Amino acid sequence: MPRGAGLKVGRILGIPIYLHSSWFLIFALITYSYASDLALTNPQWSDAQRWAVGLAASALFFASLLFHELSHSVIAMHYRIPVASITLFIFGGVARITREPDSAGQEFQIAVAGPLSSYLLSGGFFLLAAVTAHGTMLNAIGETLGWINLGLATFNLLPGFPLDGGRIFRSIVWGITKNYTRSTRIAARSGQAIAYAMMALGLLLAVRAYKTNGDVVGGLWLSFIGWYLLTAARQSYVQIEAHGALQGLHVADVMTSELPSVARDITLEEYGREVARTGRRTHLVVSDGQLVGLMTNAALQAVPREEWATTSVQAVMLSRDGLQWATPEEPALELLERMRSANIDEMAVITGGNLVGLVTRDSILRVVQTRMDLGHAGR
């Protein structure tokens, strides 16, 4: 999921909380579906009661997801691993940590915290159902959220990366092999196998339901989740291959010595034409031969198109004082982690007080792709 994707709704423990656009769709669907079911299971209730319970159950479901992700985050922060954000979306939630754990033990504790928190919530909601009268609104909410959290915890324990169970599985393999890269490859492959199995089972259930005039949505939804997990597992595999491709390289190996520059007083309209002409998305901003800042295509796109003709590069560039920089001798993997943590896509390379190069995500990707094409990844 993109960094910081969605609507920011606040912070908890210093962590930005986002709602992805897909969250609103699934929230509405869950509310409508549950309220419709309540009309059958509790016909004595009024429409207002059914919708109130439907809205409350949906809100508490997503609150449960947030609690699940916060549990991961608290353990990660305990080990001084920064958490960049938590995003709730159509498939649940994701806590984005800025770096991987330092050991298998840390990985295990961070991963297992989520399912344990969901089992804890499940027990709490079942207790609410047990102490309230059957047929009441609180009883319905307690029983529903109890089963939902029980299912959420159990599903997440499937040993398919990047599910929590897959991360637990990776931590165990990591602890046995003492090899992070190998354990991630094994966990990612396991994730792909489980995803394919979910897709196949979902399609089978959908076909059977169709033949018997049943509800095919459940089966299709299972296949859809399997497809999402397959995509995530493949991305994880590619990331570890990229990690292997950068192993042993330094900033000097991934930087570009080409330093395209633009004047600070040109308009964004002119800068846009320069980007279109050269295809370069990052430029140094100079004045009288001196570096004064950095201009990127992302900064350009952040300004409304109708304002380009009247806005200068200097007005939106990242000033020199705000630039982060690296040295040619810094390991490439450390630089990549720093760029991820700072949420930036480019960094100047300086040695002896002189600017000697520029590292961008594009320049890193070019090196990674070349080494992977040559079969060097992971060696």
Catalytic (active-site) positions: 69
Give the angle 165-106-15 at the CA atoms, nearest 5°. Answer: 85
d(CA 162, CA 82): 19
What is the CA 46 to chain-centroid distance, rounded? 40
Residue 350 pairs in a beta bridge with: 355
DSSP letter for each residue of 138-184 = HHHHHHHHHHHHHHHHHHHTSS-TTSHHHHHHHHHHHHHH--HHHHH
Say if strands 346-351 and 325-326 run parallel, antiparallel, or are unpaired: parallel
Pick from 159, 163, 156: nearest CA to 118:
156
DSSP state of 320: G
d(CA 358, CA 69): 36
Q: What is the 3-state secondary structure (H, E, C) of 336-358?
A: HHHHHHHCCCEEEEEECCEEEEE
Strands across the sheet with 15-19, in order?
7-12, 15-19, 83-89, 92-97
311: left (phi over 0), alpha (psi -120 to 50) or beta: beta
DSSP state of 202: H
